[in-house]
Amino acid sequence: MNKIKVSIIGATGYVGAELVRGFLGHPNVELKYLTSRSFAGQKFSDIYPVFRGVCDIDCTDTDYETVAKESDLVVTALPHGVSSKTVPVLIENGARVIDHSGDFRYKNLATYEKSYKLEHPHPELLAEAVYGIPEFYRDQLKDAKLVANPGCYPTCSLMALAPFLKAGLIDTKSIIIDAVSGVSGAGRKESLPYAYCEMDETFKPYGVVGHRHTTEIEEQASFLAGEENIHLAFTPHLAPFKRGMLATIYARPSDKFADVSTEKINEIYKDFYKDEFFVRALDLKVLPDVKDVNGSNFIEVNGVYDKDTGLIKLFSAQDNLGKGAALQAIQAFNAMFGFEENTGLSFVRGV
């Protein structure tokens, strides 16, 4: 069989590098272009020496038309505001696209424009874009021209919430998401606060009011619940490890949730995700740990009922660059091109 030609625009950030790692191991993919404005002309393995001998391709600054024409799929790892201008060019030139920015994740234009403080140059694509969580939008991915790869916090949060939102089991006014990310979430950059000696032993909240991922979670949570305008609280924290993300979510059971118990919550997860390769619905009282999903596309979920306060506590752990970004994009790619979703993606990190 011919291999699918995949190009990556903005290949030299951390998401780009994880895309390269993932696609390199995919049996049906040929990496075509790795583009980079800053590093054009350099070997990819000079930028990321870990790839010496496995990806010594030159980064290029090839124009988008050419990239699109010579690729079956283009994955864009660009800043928001840049993607919204680039993606339409790629689509016009015949490529299918998976985009990593926030630019195509919203259905509601106003929410996007308010959250990102930008005018969208191609709002007509919002309706067409498929929100790239395969577990939720698998069917639409098959024929999707444009996939908006979800934010890391939204993926982690929504996959923990989905079984309860879909079944109407939680009071949607009561949701609080407390989440933690590894440092790679901030991207690859020269910046004093992210220097080793500044980050080591740091643990701190940031973006505690109005973080952009809040509205992204809210819109998708509304779709899952079949209810308009869910508002929820979201508080991200930065932790001293490279990769990994954990969400701890608080919510009150709705009146529909009869006989709430830790056992029930566990059963709901087990049942909802029973056919999902990448979702580990953990055994009763076993809780997620970022260590266990690090370097993989797996996500772990579980929850408990705290009867003293009447609150449900839900937990999910993923790799922010894995299921939270690049590897989920490859899972979506598999869905788009008709491969088994775990093709080339069943690796774990080991010790």
Residues from 41 through 60 that contact a second copy (CB under 8 A)? 48-54
Tell me the angle at which helices 152-166 and 134-141 cross, rounded to the nearest 10 degrees.
90
**Neighbour tally for 82: CB within 10 Å:** 14
Q: d(Cα 268, Cα 266) in Å, to the nearest integer? A: 5
**Binding of residue 26 to a second copy (CB under 8 A):** no
**Binding of residue 203 to a second copy (CB under 8 A):** yes
Of 66-125, binders to a second copy (CB under 8 A) are: none
Distance in Å, CB of 70 to a second copy, minimum: 25
Q: d(Cα 90, Cα 77) in Å, to the nearest integer? A: 13
Quick check: is 152 catalytic? yes
Which of 1, 127, 190, 275 touches a second copy by CB under 8 A? Answer: 190
Distance in Å, CB of 282 to a second copy, minimum: 8
**Binding of residue 289 to a second copy (CB under 8 A):** yes
Give 68's contacts (C-beta < 8 A, 6+ positions apart). 74, 89, 90, 91, 92, 93, 94, 95
**Binding of residue 241 to a second copy (CB under 8 A):** yes
**Binding of residue 205 to a second copy (CB under 8 A):** yes
Which CB atom, from 143 or from 283, has the smaller least distance to a second copy?
A: 283
Stretch that binds a second copy, among 32-40, 105-113, 117-125, 240-248 (CB under 8 A): 240-248
Q: What's at 351, amino acid-wise?
A: V
Q: Tokens 């109005």 map to which residue?
A: 210
Please identify which of the residues 55, 59, 152, 156 carries the catalytic annotation. Answer: 152
**70: nearest Cα among 89, 88, 91, 94:** 94
CB 23 within 8 A of CB 71: no
Stretch that binds a second copy, among 97-105, 119-127, 130-138, 242-250 (CB under 8 A): 242-250
Distance in Å, CB of 65 to a second copy, minimum: 30
**Binding of residue 349 to a second copy (CB under 8 A):** yes
Q: d(Cα 235, Cα 241) in Å, to the nearest integer? A: 18
**Binding of residue 164 to a second copy (CB under 8 A):** no
Please calculate the CA angle 114-119-120 and round it to the nearest 5 degrees: 105
Q: d(Cα 12, Cα 188) in Å, to the nearest integer? A: 9
**Binding of residue 226 to a second copy (CB under 8 A):** no
Stretch that binds a second copy, among 65-73, 112-120, 146-154, 298-306 (CB under 8 A): 298-306
**Binding of residue 3 to a second copy (CB under 8 A):** no
Distance in Å, CB of 146 to a second copy, minimum: 26
The first and second tokens of residue 106, run together, are 């919203």
Which of 10, 102, 244, 253 touches a second copy by CB under 8 A? Answer: 244
**Binding of residue 291 to a second copy (CB under 8 A):** yes
Which of 99, 216, 300, 341 touches a second copy by CB under 8 A? Answer: 300
Sheet with 233-238, side-by-side order of all strands:
204-205, 233-238, 176-181, 245-251, 311-318, 299-306, 279-281
Distance in Å, CB of 141 to a second copy, minimum: 21
**Binding of residue 295 to a second copy (CB under 8 A):** yes
Query: b vs e for 258-272, b when ≥16 Cβ sit within 10 Å of the residue's Cβ?
Result: eebebebbbebbbeb
The strand pairing partners of 98, in sequence order, are 75, 147
Q: d(Cα 105, Cα 216) in Å, to the nearest integer? A: 7
**Binding of residue 232 to a second copy (CB under 8 A):** yes
Distance in Å, CB of 140 to a second copy, minimum: 25
Which CB atom, from 90 or from 245, has the smaller least distance to a second copy?
A: 245
Q: Tokens 């529909």 map to which residue?
A: 256
**Binding of residue 140 to a second copy (CB under 8 A):** no
| Active site residues per annotation | 152
